[in-house]
Amino acid sequence: MLDQDFVYTLLLTGKLALVTTTILIIIGIPVAYWLAYSQYKLKVIAEALISMPIVLPPTVMGYYLLVLFSPENGLGSFFQKVFDVRLAFSFTGIVIASIIANLPFMIQPLQNGFLSLSDELRQVSYTMGKSRITTLFKILLPNIKPSIITGIALTFAHCIGEFGIVIMVGGNIPKETRIASVAIYDEVQALNFEAANQYALVLFVLSFLILLIIFSINRKFKIKYF
């Protein structure tokens, strides 16, 4: 019989990945559309900021987010006073941190998908009197399904393996912020290698399956995102 803490930790990990991915697909589509088609010269700054989590050490980003989420500072103080919600060392806090950390993994595939389409699709749609919203949802998005699936898969996979930001912002609180990657570190520190191996094996299999899906899609449509 599986240990309850083991099951709950995996469920919490899946919950974090699912919530993060859902929010990012909602945010990512309009942002990627703007990045792909906007003529605004300074959008390169937005692209650089969105891509920062790829090159910035997770502990650095986690530290600054922890400071920002603190009840004595900025965003943390606002949420505490207005909504009575604590961000530091809470599930809400690691969701927000996870969203920020996974922005490039959702937005970049979507942006590349939009850029791969011929601009004639948009222009013909506008000529026929279709609005931008209709063009986006009826014309563009159906033609970048591989990019959407890739963005979702990459975001979910990266989220379940995230460690640095989560441990900095959320700590290691059972049933609230203790996700699988944190549990592996905790079990290794306690020399409980059997439990660490169980968590690691589950993450390994999930990551492999997700990458298998991504590469199968890329092979089918003969596209690359890496």
Cα three-residue angle 141-218-113, rounded to 5 degrees: 30
Kindly state the average pLDDT of the residues 33-44. Answer: 91
Helices (H), the chain: 4-37, 43-55, 58-69, 74-82, 91-101, 103-116, 120-127, 132-134, 145-161, 164-170, 180-189, 193-221
The angle that helices 4-37 and 103-116 make with each other, rounded to 10 degrees, is: 40
Is the pLDDT reported for residue 191 higher than 80?
Answer: yes
The rounded percent of the chain whose pLDDT value lies above 90 is 67
* 3-class DSSP assignment, residue 172: coil
Residue 57 structure tokens: 């050490």
Cα three-residue angle 53-58-62, rounded to 5 degrees: 105
Is the pLDDT reported for residue 224 higher than 50?
Answer: no
Cα three-residue angle 64-67-68, rounded to 5 degrees: 85
Cα 52 to chain centroid distance, Å, stands at 13
pLDDT band per the 50, 70, 90 thresholds, residue 67:
very high
The chain-wide mean pLDDT, for the chain, equals 90
How many other CB atoms are found less than 10 A from the CB of residue 99? 18
How many other CB atoms are found less than 10 A from the CB of residue 19? 17
What pTM does this model have? Answer: 0.89
Q: What is the pLDDT of residues 92-149, one digit of tens each?
A: 999 999 999 999 999 999 999 999 999 888 889 988 988 999 999 999 999 999 899 9
Residue 40 region, left (φ>0) first, then alpha (ψ -120 to 50), else beta?
beta
Please compute Rg for the chain using Cα positions.
Answer: 20
Of 155, 154, 188, 185, nearest in space to 167 by CA: 185
pLDDT band per the 50, 70, 90 thresholds, residue 39:
confident
